[in-house]
């Protein structure tokens, strides 16, 4: 009911001289996410890249998930002239771990020996090279495998027990 009251409180609703289109425009001002020209911001791109840098790209599924959302956001920003193609390419490359980026970069250098060093590779070519390296990776991540090691279990016991998990050697 609160939203209905808010809508009815708009001058565009109350005044008979106002058109339906004016009312809809006023409503859209209340909900910025609905406006087509404000779907995504550079902050959304930065958030996505930052999150993926923390999470990492460990397999093809991770790459595809990131790639789809990245294109959705950055293509919108590029169409609106909020970022350049160079900025889009740089942001995509910045997401990869050093290990994976070294492999991708080496592949790209071999395929494009004329590429200027300071010019970032296109999103499409980086995606293609990264896909090549990640195609054979298992769906489980390296981090998940490490969490199941005996060392990880010992540490969990040591820190979660209230003294009961500690060994004093008097068994």
pTM (2 d.p.): 0.62
Distance of CA 164 to the CA centre of its chain: 42
Report the pLDDT value the prediction gives residue 163, as an integer from 0 to 100: 42
Q: What is the pLDDT of residue 164?
A: 42
The token pair that represents 21 in the structure block: 């289109």
Q: Hey, CA dihedral for 138, 96, 110, 88, is it positive or negative?
A: positive
**What are the tokens at 116?**
């200027």
Cα R_g (the chain), whole angstroms: 25
> The tokens of 87 are what?
């900025």
Instruction: Dump pLDDT digits (tens) for 95-145.
Output: 999 999 999 999 999 999 998 888 899 999 999 999 998 987 776 544 444
Q: Are 26 and 7 in contact (CB under 8 A)?
A: no
Give the pLDDT of the chain (171 residues) as one tens digit per residue: 577 788 778 888 888 888 888 888 877 777 665 556 667 899 999 999 999 999 999 999 999 999 999 999 999 999 999 999 999 999 999 999 999 999 999 999 999 999 888 889 999 999 999 999 898 777 654 444 444 445 544 444 333 334 444 444 444
Nearest to 121 by CA among 168, 75, 85: 85
- Residue 151: the pLDDT is 52
Q: Nearest to residue 73, comparing CAs of 95, 90, 48, 51?
A: 48
What pLDDT does 168 receive? Answer: 45
Distance CA 127, CA 122 (A): 8
pLDDT for position 37:
62
């Amino acid at each position: 009911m609160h939203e209905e009251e808010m809508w009815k409180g708009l001058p565009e609703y109350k005044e008979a001289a106002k058109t339906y289109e004016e009312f809809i425009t006023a409503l859209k001002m209340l909900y910025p996410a609905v406006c087509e020209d404000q779907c995504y911001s550079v902050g959304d791109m930065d958030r996505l890249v930052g999150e993926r840098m923390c999470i990492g790209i460990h397999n093809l599924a991770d790459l595809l998930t990131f790639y789809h959302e990245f294109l959705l956001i950055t293509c919108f920003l590029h169409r609106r002239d909020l970022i350049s193609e160079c900025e889009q390419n740089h942001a995509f490359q910045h997401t990869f771990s050093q290990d994976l980026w070294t492999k991708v970069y080496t592949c790209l250098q071999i395929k494009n020996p004329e590429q200027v060093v300071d010019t970032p590779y296109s999103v499409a070519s980086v995606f293609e090279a990264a896909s090549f390296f990640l195609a054979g990776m298992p769906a489980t991540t390296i981090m998940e495998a490490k969490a199941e090691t005996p060392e990880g279990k010992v540490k969990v016991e040591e820190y979660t027990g209230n003294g009961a998990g500690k060994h004093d050697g008097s068994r």
